[in-house]
């Protein structure tokens, strides 16, 4: 029985998924739980269907393995991924969402390709990546493994982030730096603050300074108008999110 409001098709209006890990670090051989949430700008709005999702884990040595998605539970509108680290370092859990939404001439949103809809207006394929960096060990600092998606927000250095620190992130498309791409930084612990918006420089880099503690999310988007599949979709949209915990 479905325990949540299905808002999968709101992806065409800007909904995205993100991960949350509300601790500064995990421990060797102890289970780590990470939540996957759905909505916009860290405001939960229902949940997407599990069948559009797949989860994987990138270990500190670069090894990639699949993860299961559990839930949602009655107490939380979120899916949960769990892993048990067997080494110290930075782990990268990732949840990828992929599907097609067709908008009809009468304003309906259907999860079918264009050829399966009687009166389609447009069909949009979407690919999203939600990632986090999980330190296993105390006070770790250094480089982290890339996620490897078509659209990526790659932190150039990772540490235990505190208010006043500045993070530098590189936007990558197909593995190459993406200049002039807007990145938003959202603080999910306050409704009053507007997202910080910055465009990447010639090397695809942006820098944000955390002015207060909170659960932050870096977010960027990309539209590939050349990715067209006749009878299926007219273009593909990409979004990627990076969760960042900032303490006092």
pLDDT > 90? residue 7: yes
% the chain with pLDDT above 70: 99
CATH 3.40.50.300 fits 8-246, yes or no: no
* Mean pLDDT (whole number) for 171-186: 98
Instruction: State the chain's mean pLDDT as an integer.
Output: 95
- List the beta bridge partners of residue 166: 209
Please give the pLDDT value at position 193: 79
Cα dihedral sign, 209-213-145-77 = negative
Mean pLDDT of 166-180: 98
Residues 6 or more apart from 204 whose CB is under 8 A from it?
Answer: 170, 171, 172, 176, 177, 178, 179, 181
pTM of the predicted model as reported, rounded to 2 decimal places: 0.96
191-216 pLDDT, tens digit each: 777 899 999 999 999 999 999 999 99
Average of per-residue pLDDT across 50-78: 94
Quickly state the pLDDT bin for 75 (edges 50, 70, 90).
confident
Rounded Cα–Cα distance for residues 39 and 70 (Å): 18
pLDDT for residue 141: 97
- Domain-wise residue ranges, the chain: 8-246
Decide if 180 contacts 199 (C-beta within 8 A): yes
Residue 158's pLDDT band (boundaries 50, 70, 90)?
very high
* Mean pLDDT within 111-122: 95
User: What's residue 2's pLDDT?
Assistant: 61
């Amino acid at each position: 029985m479905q325990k949540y409001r299905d808002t999968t098709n709101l992806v065409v209006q800007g909904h995205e998924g993100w991960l949350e890990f509300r601790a500064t670090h995990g421990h060797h051989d102890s289970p780590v739980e990470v939540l996957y949430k759905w909505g916009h700008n860290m405001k939960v709005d229902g949940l997407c269907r599990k069948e559009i999702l797949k989860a994987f884990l990138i270990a500190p040595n670069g090894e990639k393995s699949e993860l299961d998605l559990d839930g949602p539970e009655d107490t939380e509108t979120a899916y949960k991924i769990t892993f048990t680290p067997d080494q110290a370092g930075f782990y990268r859990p990732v949840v990828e969402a992929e599907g097609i939404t067709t908008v009809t001439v009468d304003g309906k949103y259907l999860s079918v390709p264009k050829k399966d809809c009687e009166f389609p207006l447009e069909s949009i394929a979407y690919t999203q990546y939600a990632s986090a960096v999980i330190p296993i060990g105390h006070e770790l600092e250094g480089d982290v493994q890339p996620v490897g998606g078509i659209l990526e927000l790659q932190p150039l250095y990772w540490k235990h982030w505190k208010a006043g620190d500045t993070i530098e992130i590189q936007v990558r498309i197909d593995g190459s730096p993406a200049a002039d791409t807007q990145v938003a930084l959202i603080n999910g612990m306050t409704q009053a603050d507007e997202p910080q918006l910055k465009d990447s420089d010639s090397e695809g880099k942006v820098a944000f300074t955390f002015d207060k503690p909170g659960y932050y999310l870096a977010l960027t988007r990309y539209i590939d108008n050349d990715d067209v599949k006749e009878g299926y979709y007219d273009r593909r949209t990409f979004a990627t999110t990076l969760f960042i915990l900032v303490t006092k």
